Amino acid sequence: MGIHAIQIDNKARKANKNMAKTDDKKKHKNCSLCADKIESIDYKDASKLRRYLTEAGKIIPRRITGNCAKHQRMIAKAIKQAREAAIISYVFD
């Protein structure tokens, strides 16, 4: 009886594993910068940076843009540099 219970438990675990697999498929890499093989972001390229800003001039979170952590960091850094250089404004009208 004890063994039988364990077998059921394993079956349930396998089913969960398969479900997790389908979830992974959904959140595949969606980073546009990885797709373009971009290694650096020029903070002077305002038109590119604007793509990652909301209308209010805020950085769009990567859960929405789908960017990877590496590129999101690059974007945030470039945007901050661009703001300091007054290439893009802190707040858009």
Rule CB under 5 A: which residues touch Zn ion? Answer: 31, 33-34, 68, 71
- For Zn ion, the closer of residues 9 and 61 by Cβ is 61
Q: Are 19 and 25 in contact (CB under 8 A)?
A: no
Q: Are 38 and 51 in contact (CB under 8 A)?
A: no
Half-sphere exposure of 8 (CA within 13 A, CB side): 5
- For Zn ion, the closer of residues 68 and 87 by Cβ is 68
- For Zn ion, the closer of residues 64 and 91 by Cβ is 64
Nearest residue to the partner Zn ion, using Cβ = 31
